[in-house]
């Protein structure tokens, strides 16, 4: 009898371990892999809103949140290894940002699902006691490595585009700041430092904003990880750990799992990848500018006046690659030229659907031409899944691009995350280059 019971216990333990091994949501980040998932995927802890389909979600985000995101971008002023952090696509909970990574803050680490943002430097998370924040917050008093930063610290002077103030009342004068985000939201925070853990890497004394109160609906629920180019960004604060280099592959919005990845450091990056120069703009120093020289629809190079594409460090105009905007936006004259050439090559009639103004019967999709972005030294031919989006019913296909919002005095063209799906995008700040390679990460 004892032998039979022992056998049953052994079989039960084996069944549990096998089930966990087969569960894609049970996979853990390792030293070379950090997952990224959609915020409403099966592996996500967030409950999805009542929506008809992911397509409707994207269209809603592109219509309601992208304009604020583009407006926000336009307002911005002035150890050699690799670690791979899983990435997943998000949906409407984070409003204007759609990809999240798993990170841990504090000692011991507290798990946070933070939005990936290449156009912000500082990271920030909601902290316990925050007014207007979600139920998931970072708890400073349980971390042995937590410390507030006073106004005398250089990190306080590194805050850009925000209003700062100092508050006395303790052993130090705390560095407080207020920041707008997404165009329609804002928050107040205290600048603090603690340990940041990504996969197996620990970045000690990582400075970030501890949010005290929020206003508006665009603030990421569990915080944001800044991957910009400024002194408070992850690349700057990690010092030589990542050698000023990272890349990501964003999975499809339809992906359920943490199938994308954020790779940090030079090792494990693609050995063969086409690159284009990374440009610096003093008016918008955090953004990743590239030189977009033209756009082709099929075999036709679209006639676009050079001033609508040209990089100009004196005015802040040009083209940026951004992880937070949903669909690619061009300044109005450039978009209209692209749209008109696309319409010439596809059988109409055309209709509007949300922010998209070039929708046609999906039965004509086979006629849709390839869209190619021409950068200095690099041509990017968009896969059909990156250039077209379908209605929830499937009967319409739309050109998945739009003009910059009318209420934005924008001189920026933004290559957005829908056009970046299933591509490895490499940001090599140390060598001033951006690389792009095809990679299926669904």
Q: Tell me the HSE value of 250 on the side-chain side, using a 13 A CA sphere.
A: 29
Cβ proximity of 130 and 223 under 8 Å:
no
Cβ proximity of 235 and 200 under 8 Å:
no
What is the number of other CB atoms lying within 10 angstroms of the CB of residue 6?
A: 10
The reply to whether 184 belongs to the active site is no
Q: Is the peptide bond before 108 cis (omega within 30 degrees of 0)?
A: yes
Neighbour-count burial of 168, counting CB atoms closer than 10 A to its CB (0-12 exposed, 13-18 middle, 19+ buried): exposed
What is the number of other CB atoms lying within 10 angstroms of the CB of residue 27?
A: 16
* Distance between CA atoms of residues 260 and 101, nearest Å: 9
| Residue pointed to by tokens 């407080």 | 176
Q: How far is CA 2 from CA 7, 16, 35, 340, in A?
A: 9, 21, 44, 79
What lies within 8 Å, CB to CB, of 353 at 6+ separation is 59, 359, 391, 396, 398
Tokens standing for residue 252:
């499809």
The candidate with the shortest Cα–Cα distance to 247, out of 372, 82, 115, is: 82
Tokens standing for residue 119:
């156009």
Cβ proximity of 166 and 174 under 8 Å:
yes
**How long a stretch of residues is the chain?**
442
The candidate with the shortest Cα–Cα distance to 292, out of 323, 321, 325, is: 321
The reply to whether 117 belongs to the active site is yes
* Distance between CA atoms of residues 73 and 65, nearest Å: 12
Q: Which of 117, 150, 201, 428 is catalytic?
A: 117
The candidate with the shortest Cα–Cα distance to 419, out of 252, 264, 220, is: 252
The candidate with the shortest Cα–Cα distance to 360, out of 386, 402, 396, is: 396
Q: Which of 201, 322, 357, 428 is catalytic?
A: 322
Residues annotated as part of the active site:
117, 322
């Amino acid at each position: 009898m004892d032998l039979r019971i022992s056998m049953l216990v052994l079989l039960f333990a084996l069944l549990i371990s096998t089930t966990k091994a087969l569960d894609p949501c049970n996979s853990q980040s390792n030293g070379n892999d950090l997952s990224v998932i959609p915020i409403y995927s099966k592996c996500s802890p967030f409950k999805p809103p009542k929506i008809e389909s992911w397509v409707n979600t994207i269209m809603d985000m592109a219509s309601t949140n992208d304009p604020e995101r583009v407006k926000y971008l336009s307002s911005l002023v002035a150890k050699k290894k690799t670690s791979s952090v899983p990435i997943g696509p998000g949906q409407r909970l984070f409003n204007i940002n759609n990809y999240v990574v798993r990170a841990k803050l504090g000692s011991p680490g507290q798990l946070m699902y933070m939005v990936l943002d290449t156009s912000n430097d500082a990271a920030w998370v909601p902290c316990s006691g925050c007014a207007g924040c979600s139920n998931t917050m970072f708890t400073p008093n349980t971390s042995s490595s937590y410390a507030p930063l006073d106004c005398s610290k250089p990190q306080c002077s590194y805050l850009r585009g925000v209003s700062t103030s100092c508050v006395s009342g303790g052993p130090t004068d705390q560095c407080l700041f207020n920041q707008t985000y997404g165009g329609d939201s804002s928050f107040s925070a205290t600048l603090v430092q603690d340990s940041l853990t990504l996969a197996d890497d620990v970045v000690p004394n990582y400075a970030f904003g501890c949010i005290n109160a929020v206003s508006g609906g665009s603030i990421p629920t569990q915080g944001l990880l800044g991957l910009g180019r400024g002194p408070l960004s992850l690349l700057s604060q990690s010092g030589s750990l990542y050698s000023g280099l990272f890349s990501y592959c964003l999975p499809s919005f339809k992906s359920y799992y943490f199938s994308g990845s954020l790779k940090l450091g030079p090792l494990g990056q693609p050995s063969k990848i086409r690159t284009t120069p990374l440009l610096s703009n003093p008016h918008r120093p955090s953004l990743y500018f590239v030189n977009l020289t033209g756009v082709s629809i099929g075999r036709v190079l679209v006639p676009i006046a050079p001033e609508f594409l040209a990089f100009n460090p004196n005015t802040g105009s040009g083209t940026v690659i951004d992880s937070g905007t949903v669909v690619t936006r061009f300044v109005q004259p450039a978009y209209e030229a692209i749209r008109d050439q696309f319409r010439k090559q596809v059988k109409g009639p055309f209709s509007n659907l949300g922010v998209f103004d070039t929708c046609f019967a999906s039965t004509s999709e086979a006629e849709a031409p390839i869209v190619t972005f021409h950068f200095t030294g690099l041509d990017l031919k968009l896969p059909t899944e990156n250039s077209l989006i379908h209605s929830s019913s499937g009967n319409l296909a739309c050109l998945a691009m739009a003009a910059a919002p009318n209420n934005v005095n924008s001189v920026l063209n933004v290559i957005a995350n829908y056009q970046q799906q299933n591509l490895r995008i490499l940001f090599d700040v140390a060598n001033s280059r951006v690389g792009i390679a095809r990679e299926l990460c669904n």
